[in-house]
């Protein structure tokens, strides 16, 4: 379970937030257990204080993660927390009871939490601090049974741990990036129409719902157009589907060239195209329709000739759903067809539909 379900497997921080959701509760449990043990079973107030503060800090980081979604910052803060807790633990325990063995856990946590590049800096600082701490404790080695062989073995083990974890973390990150890029490409491909390269129906519906939510938040205008090619079936019957496909591709390119970058155009099905126009009121919608009607004169594919459009448009009214907008635009488009094709018609939610022929923009307005 990732951060309240707000991260998906293709998100860049998915692995990190997943590890944080596992690691932070585990830290809390381990440190609380250590706190109880050092106060009851093996009394040591200093270690108890360290683990109690560590458990509290881990709990606060867990709350912070879920309250802010600051994944990277939480990861760095957690590495810093463990940096301090482990060093203080080794300092308090001293060179006895194999206390330094817990320091071997730090490189793994650092590389997994913040990656190889930042992990290298943390691990280098940690090893330096630990080396200084071990060196300063040299006068007490004899009294604690700590011999020169112990720090040598510890150093070799630490180096082996760092090299191994660093190697596997680097390869894991490269593999994860490759899988993430592939997933994004698959999602992008799944959202496009295979023939025209425009958004497909599923993607159009997703964009329309997004624009509706934005409209409800900011009260900005929103309009929709449905476009259908006139007598497209006759083109397929007379010239074959390959010519029909070229007509669809040419239409898609003309629509992209005519519309704004902020508009979304997609193939709704067959020879129907849905156009979503954010921040577009009624007058702007009619102006956009006029530009499309002018562009239809360039929709010339041999041997089919010029293929005109029938366009239907509508604008958002409070309470409209995506289905309401699509249905009204579709009805307006059929009105345009019934009135003779090669024209645009508009159907508002508060008045009967009306049609405009392919006339200049200034005459429409």
Residue 112 pLDDT level (bands cut at 50, 70, 90): confident
Global confidence as pTM = 0.54
Instruction: Kindly give the residue spans of alpha helices, DSSP state H, lying in the chain.
Output: 14-39, 45-68, 71-93, 105-136, 141-144, 149-190, 201-218, 232-239, 241-258, 282-296, 322-338, 361-364
Residue 362 pLDDT level (bands cut at 50, 70, 90): very low
- HSE (side-chain half, CA atoms, 13 Å) at 85: 26
| Domain-wise residue ranges, the chain | 3-189, 201-364
Tell me which of 180 and 358 has the higher pLDDT: 180
Give me the helix-helix angle, 201-218 and 322-338, nearest 10°.
110
Determine contact, residues 255/273, Cβ cutoff 8 Å: yes
Count of CB atoms situated within 10 Å of the CB of 209:
12
Residue 361 pLDDT level (bands cut at 50, 70, 90): very low
Relative to beta strand 309-315, strand 344-346 is parallel
Query: Where do we find the tokens 């449990």?
Result: 29
Residue 59 pLDDT level (bands cut at 50, 70, 90): very high
Considering the domain delimited by 201-364, tell me its CATH architecture.
2-Layer Sandwich (3.30)
Q: What pLDDT score was predicted for residue 360? A: 36
Q: What is the distance between the alpha carbons of residues 181 and 188, in angstroms, rounded to a whole number?
A: 10
Q: What pLDDT score was predicted for residue 1? A: 44
Which of 125-130's residues contact partners 24+ apart within 8 Å by CB, and which partners? 125/83, 126/83, 126/86, 126/87, 127/158, 127/162, 129/87, 130/87, 130/90, 130/100, 130/103
Determine contact, residues 153/136, Cβ cutoff 8 Å: no
Mean pLDDT, residues 85-89: 91
Distances (CA, A) of 279 to 104, 129, 221, 247: 58, 58, 5, 30
Q: Write a three-state SS string for 142-174.
A: HHHCCCCHHHHHHHHHHHHHHHHHHHHHHHHHH
263-322 pLDDT, tens digit each: 999 999 889 999 999 999 999 999 999 999 888 888 888 888 888 989 999 999 888 999
121-150 pLDDT, tens digit each: 999 999 999 888 888 887 777 777 777 777
Query: Where do we find the tokens 């009214």?
Result: 317
Largest Cα separation within the chain, whole Å, is 103
Percent of the chain whose predicted confidence (pLDDT) is above 90: 44
Residue 359 pLDDT level (bands cut at 50, 70, 90): very low
Q: What is the distance between the alpha carbons of residues 84 and 93, in angstroms, rounded to a whole number?
A: 14
């Amino acid at each position: 379970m990732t951060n309240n379900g707000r991260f998906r497997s293709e998100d860049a921080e998915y692995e990190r937030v997943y590890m944080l959701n596992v690691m932070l509760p585990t830290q809390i449990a381990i440190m609380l257990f250590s706190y109880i043990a050092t106060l009851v079973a093996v009394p040591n107030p200093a270690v108890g204080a360290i683990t109690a503060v560590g458990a509290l800090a881990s709990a606060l980081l867990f709350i912070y993660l879920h309250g802010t979604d600051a994944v990277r910052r939480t990861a760095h803060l957690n590495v810093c927390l463990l940096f301090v807790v482990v060093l203080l633990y080794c300092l308090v325990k001293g060179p006895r009871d194999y206390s330094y063995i817990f320091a071997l856990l730090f490189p793994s946590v650092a590389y997994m939490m913040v990656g190889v590049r930042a992990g290298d800096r943390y691990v280098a600082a940690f090893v330096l601090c630990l080396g200084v701490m071990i060196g300063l404790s040299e006068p007490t080695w004899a009294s604690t049974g700590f011999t020169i062989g112990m720090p040598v073995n510890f150093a070799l083990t630490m180096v082996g741990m760092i090299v191994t974890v660093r190697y596997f973390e680097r390869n894991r990150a490269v593999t994860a990036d490759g899988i993430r890029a592939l997933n994004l490409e698959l999602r992008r491909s799944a959202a496009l129409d295979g023939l025209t390269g425009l958004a497909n129906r599923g993607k159009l519906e997703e964009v329309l719902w997004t624009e509706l939510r934005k409209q409800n938040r900011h009260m900005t205008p929103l309009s929709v157009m449905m476009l259908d090619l006139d007598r497209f079936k006759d083109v397929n019957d007379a010239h074959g589907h390959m010519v029909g496909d070229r007509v669809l591709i040419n239409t898609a390119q003309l629509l992209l060239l005519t519309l704004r970058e902020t508009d979304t155009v997609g193939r709704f099905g067959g020879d129907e195209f849905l156009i979503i126009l954010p921040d577009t009121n009624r007058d702007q919608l009619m102006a956009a329709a006029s530009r499309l009607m002018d562009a239809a004169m360039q929709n010339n594919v041999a041997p089919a000739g010029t293929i005109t459009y029938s366009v239907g448009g509508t604008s958002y009214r409070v309470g409209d759903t995506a289905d309401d907008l699509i249905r009204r635009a579709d009805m307006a488009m059929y009105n345009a067809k019934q009135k003779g094709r090669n024209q645009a018609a508009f159907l508002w939610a508060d008045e009967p539909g009306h049609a405009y022929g392919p006339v200049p923009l200034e005459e429409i307005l």
